Structures are given as C-alpha cells and as structure tokens.
Amino acid sequence: MLVLLEDPCYGAAMSSLTERKQQILQALQHPEAEEGLYFENLYQLHEEDERIAVAGSEIEILDAVRELANEKKLVVNDTGKRIIVSLPKRD
C-alpha cells in the first residue's frame, strides 16, 4: 500500500510508532530490566511487574523494536529459544 505524506493516518501511525519506541526504551530503563527483557514481557506483564506495558499489538511492538535495533538504541539477542531485548552496554 502506498502511503502519501498528506494522509492523516500516516502522521498518526508515525506518532504511535514514536510513542511505542519511547515506551520500549522506558521499559528497558526500569530496574526490573537491568539484564534485558524477553520480547513478550514488553506487552505481557506479570502481576508483580512494576513497569508499564508497551501499547500496541505484537507486530507493532516488533516493528518498533526493529527500528530501535537499527538505530543502535537497543540490542536484540535471538540466539536462544526466546528473544531478549536490552539496552546497549556502556563501556
């Protein structure tokens, strides 16, 4: 589907993507996420979790994770059975 820049839905989608990316970064900065989070824990919280869930569908959150990884703002480890996302380690 071709999306024109004048399309009001395009601006809303970009805003939502930007907000979703910010939510992901905030979730990864929470003390519970010191070693990273399983991908599904971005949107599925357990009763004891203190951080907020990232808004959006699994696909929308995955798209935001991919963009953040491309921007080098987070690291994706998919070598195991489950995907782990974390903030880059600082030297």
| Residue 13 clears pLDDT 60, i.e. is over it | no
**CATH architecture under which domain 34-91 falls:** Orthogonal Bundle (1.10)
3 state DSSP class of 91: coil
Mean pLDDT of 48-75: 94
DSSP 8-state code for residue 39: G
Q: Domain ranges for the chain, please list them.
A: 34-91
Q: Using a cut of 0.85, tell me whether the model's pTM lies above it.
A: no
